[in-house]
Structure 1
């Protein structure tokens, strides 16, 4: 049966269920642009918590940048919802005065239908962030300001992280519901940016276990090897989870992984600027290596063996480059070469590859073979 429109211009399917307003590529790009402000504010605030010991108040310039970014993202989404409601009233021939539009939006919860597809969880994330932001201010007033790892594990900060994650993945969800995207930066740019933001958010809140800013192989502490291996495994799981997710849905343009990992390497310097010669070259060259392997193998869901090989090679090469970088930069920057024994530094890239390989089975499980009838 053909679809029809209700009195407010929203299309309605044969089942009578109101069809949500579709997002557009233009709006996805706008959301990416305003999200840069918000995510940038997060890393600026992370820098302040890590590098300013006298920070003793909630009301700081860093929080001002962070929370103003949130307000800009919220304003952008709500403006689009308002414009969608206005378009529906124009289609139905009703008055477009502000009072009429507000009445139309509230009637039968039409504002929910006007949220672009994929951005419903973004709105939820904005609400979660707002509630946790008030809670965070209260926490700081009564319990003080956390520093270093404490700031990453604060319950209110983890609530803020959940809200940001739900909000910043809006362009990714919106594009996932659309079809026909060509493997170009113009078409898939919002997807790549959105996933990069999400990846960087995850590495932000696990920065206490980041090999890029904590060079465990250069340390002589007894537990540096086991701690470093654990950190490598955790970061490999986060990195390859994001990489395999975007591969599952799209054919990607060249430079995707260099951008994703390289930008993340730059952002992580907020916690330890002195690690620039480790984080940036490793992340950028590791991403470029992933792009080259991706172009050579052309992994896809109908060729699972290539996907698994790709998932193994990317972290393997990433951490080979990491140890090469440490061996060059360590004596210059940290006045120390690699202190790990050969089994540790040689085995770390291999076990990281195994993590990527295992994740490929989670995202792309083997097809079940039907039992033969006797």
Structure 2
């Protein structure tokens, strides 16, 4: 009976172990290869007129990134199998979802090949709604956030980790956020040029811009488009930060690293033609890091958490409009828009803070082993 029980335990997650911080860092770095591959592919779709084949250099970078990070995750499991661990016990804590996503991603990759072979290559907004692309992006999210899940309840991370120890988790979540921003880029604010922002907020209707994902027909940029883009991007960029702040006391530089990574995707889509606007978000990351040091928001300090959420969003979009105005020819002519937009962003940030932390928590319960 005892031997039977021991055999069952070997097949369960009861004795699963965490990998070393170095292993998580390698997982995150290989995930960067994977993420950069997608950025290169996004650049090609947005800036090259005709992509008529699935077999492109950009796809080669993307799928080779998938191969190396997948091989690394599988190797971690195989090492445990060779050490005598069986079943789920061989899967390191935090690595199970990524492991399951590997064959699913490969299946969606094959489906994407068949889709393009039969129906052709998407060149406009339809690229973000392709079922095979949606499957790829969801499974990719699970793979590259493996270091985050590994660190989430690891006993050696602690409640106030140093930047170096938390870096793999930050990179994983930041690149995951870039995937979300890519598939919502038709409502993204970081793809807009400073001059177009100023003119749209001055006249209510700005110059024509190319639609996200390329395409021959431009779309009109109006004040409503800028306002909606700010709301969408505000939610996409602030949510992962609030997610982390509830779990850890973030070290200085954590938000700056995340915002710098997140800005890479819209930069790739626009060929980095709008560096000043992208840079404003990196500066906003520094400001958010300073706010964290000043307010010390946490799950136990709900008021400070809410204040950080609102002030971080307000500062981010004040910088965005300030830089756009400085580079784009002056303040927009409609004062209600450029004065009220950061306030709206701050209120949305406050609402997000209340959603993420409606009640203060005494002790973080942990996320379990996934």
Aligned to 2:69: 73
2:321 is equivalent to residue 323 of structure 1: yes
2-structure distance, mates of 1:76, 1:279: 36
Q: For 2:83, what is the secondary structure of its paired residue?
A: helix
Conservation of the 8 A alpha-carbon contact between 2:16 and 2:90: yes
Conservation of the 8 A alpha-carbon contact between 2:34 and 2:62: yes
> Structure 2: which 5+ residue stretches go unaligned?
206-220, 362-370
Aligned to 1:183: 161
Size of the aligned set, in residue pairs, is 338
Aligned to 2:256: 258
- 1:57 equivalent among 47, 53, 60: 53
Aligned to 1:205: 183
Q: Which has the higher contact order (CA 8 A, sep 6+)?
A: 2
- Displacement of 1:340 in angstroms is 5.7
Aligned to 1:118: 94
**Closer, same or farther in 2 for the Cα pair 1:131/1:279, shift >3 Å?**
farther
**Closer, same or farther in 2 for the Cα pair 1:340/1:171, shift >3 Å?**
farther
Q: For 1:88, what is the secondary structure of its paired residue?
A: coil
Aligned to 2:108: 132
2-structure distance, mates of 1:33, 1:318: 28
More displaced, 133-142 or 340-349?
A: 340-349
- 1:362 equivalent among 355, 359, 362: 355
Conservation of the 8 A alpha-carbon contact between 1:81 and 1:111: no
Structural mapping, 1:209-220, within 5 Å:
209-215=187-193, 217-220=197-200
**Closer, same or farther in 2 for the Cα pair 1:17/1:300, shift >3 Å?**
closer
More displaced, 359-368 or 69-78?
A: 359-368
> Structure 1: which 5+ residue stretches go unaligned?
90-109, 332-336, 369-374
Deviations 1:127-163 (A, max 9, x none): 2211111111111111111124222222211111101
Conservation of the 8 A alpha-carbon contact between 1:11 and 1:19: yes
Conservation of the 8 A alpha-carbon contact between 1:286 and 1:318: yes
Conservation of the 8 A alpha-carbon contact between 2:267 and 2:273: yes
Conservation of the 8 A alpha-carbon contact between 2:317 and 2:341: yes
- Displacement of 1:277 in angstroms is 2.8
More displaced, 290-299 or 149-158?
A: 149-158
2-structure distance, mates of 1:17, 1:163: 22
1-structure distance, mates of 2:128, 2:277: 20
Structural mapping, 1:325-364, within 5 Å:
325-331=323-329, 337-339=330-332, 341-364=334-357
- Displacement of 1:36 in angstroms is 1.0
Q: For 2:141, what is the secondary structure of its paired residue?
A: helix
